[in-house]
Amino acid sequence: MIITDMEDFTDSFVKDVDNGLNDIPKHIPCVYFYDYTGSILFEKICQLPEYYLTQAETEILESQSKRIITTLPDNVMLVELGSGSSVKTRLIIEALLSKSDKLSYSPIDISRKMLHESSISLLERYDNLEIISVAATYEEGLRKLTIFNEQAKLILWLGSSIGNFRPAEASRFLGNIAATMKPEDCLLIGFDLVKEKRILEKAYNDSQNVTAEFNLNLLSRINRELGGEFDLGRFTHQALYNEEERRIEMYLISNCEQNVYISAMNRSYHFGINEMVHTENSCKYSPEAIGKIANRAGLQILEQWFDSRHYFNLTLFKPDNR
């Protein structure tokens, strides 16, 4: 069941691409990665051997799901930000269903097609699951779900998607989430931890070039939806670890001097040789940094879990009502 369709992003897509390609340095917001094609490619990334994040988070969920739900009230509603295929979420769903006759699950994702497919798959798997899908941005989806304010919620934000925000932005966003939470609500977030540069860069420059395809799909999407004339063969994917900022930075690099026309804007954009277009940050955290953003957001840490290599962290929060 889809309770709301995603807002029309065409106008904001045009505006953000135009502003980003006119800026110095050039950039395109990472939210536009996730059309249906991008969502499918990201699911492929999650299965790559170099992409340790999914393996590490799954390890934690497999060993700790029952422990995680012991802190929750009965008949909790499960809400997920950026749900994608909801594969890892099944571990939490099964833990919750083990102590309840039924469960309401509300995945929030900007890809309506991905939501539909994942919801159908889950409904076929779990007879006592009710799904209230919301095709929207995180913020819009949470606003829509205020109609269920009487029910306690566990909000999931898995996969280290919080890393796409700079720490100050993450604190503000978490503060907005905390403002919607009741005292009995909880928030479970996945954080990728600081580690060796070699491990990080390998995860975002995989040997099968799936991450490169995912990054370049951003240009394909501009071609499909905005009438762009990007030649993907003239751009190269690159991901670099910025040790000072503790983040992976992802770029599309122009291989030559070129002008690219986009019909939706009725103009061309100039790219110099080796000019970089920034497409994503993926910030890495220490346990101390997690505590700092939680304090700024008005959240209290209930418990933290780590995988066996201490590559990844799941932290459970509640609103800090002190």
What is the reported pLDDT for 73?
84
Cα separation values, 300 from 162, 167, 304, Å? 17, 17, 11
What is the reported pLDDT for 322?
57
Q: How does pLDDT run across 30-83, given as a tens digit for each residue?
A: 999 999 999 999 999 999 999 999 999 999 999 999 999 998 888 899 999 988
Band (113; pLDDT cuts 50, 70, 90)? confident
Band (84; pLDDT cuts 50, 70, 90)? confident
Q: How does pLDDT run across 259-295, given as a tens digit for each residue?
A: 999 999 999 999 999 999 999 999 999 999 999 999 9
66, 95 contact by CB (below 8 A)? yes
Q: How does pLDDT run across 159-175, given as a tens digit for each residue?
A: 999 999 999 999 999 99
| Sequence-separated (6 or more) residues with CB below 8 Å from residue 71 | 186, 302, 303, 316
- What is the model's pTM? 0.93
Cα separation values, 120 from 19, 78, 131, 227, 273, Å? 38, 17, 9, 33, 46
The answer to whether the bond into 49 is cis (omega within 30° of 0) is no
d(CA 211, CA 250): 10
* Window from 10-14, 203-207, 295-299, 310-314 with minimum mean pLDDT: 10-14
What is the reported pLDDT for 8?
57
- Residues of the chain above pLDDT 70, percent: 97
Q: Which two tokens stand for residue 187?
A: 């928030």
Q: Which two tokens stand for residue 199?
A: 């491990």
| Sequence-separated (6 or more) residues with CB below 8 Å from residue 84 | 39, 42, 43, 109, 111, 114, 118, 159
What is the reported pLDDT for 11?
85
The dihedral built from the CA positions of residue 163, 168, 170 and 171, taken in this order, carries a sign that is positive
The pLDDT of 123-147, averaged and rounded, is 87
d(CA 220, CA 29): 15
* CATH class, 52-196+284-319 region: alpha beta
d(CA 208, CA 29): 24
Alpha carbon 307 to its chain centroid, in Å, reads 20
What is the reported pLDDT for 67?
94
What is the reported pLDDT for 7?
52
d(CA 27, CA 18): 10
Alpha carbon 134 to its chain centroid, in Å, reads 15
Ramachandran assignment for 236, one of left (phi > 0), alpha (psi -120 to 50 degrees), beta (any other):
beta
pLDDT for residue 2 is more than 60: no
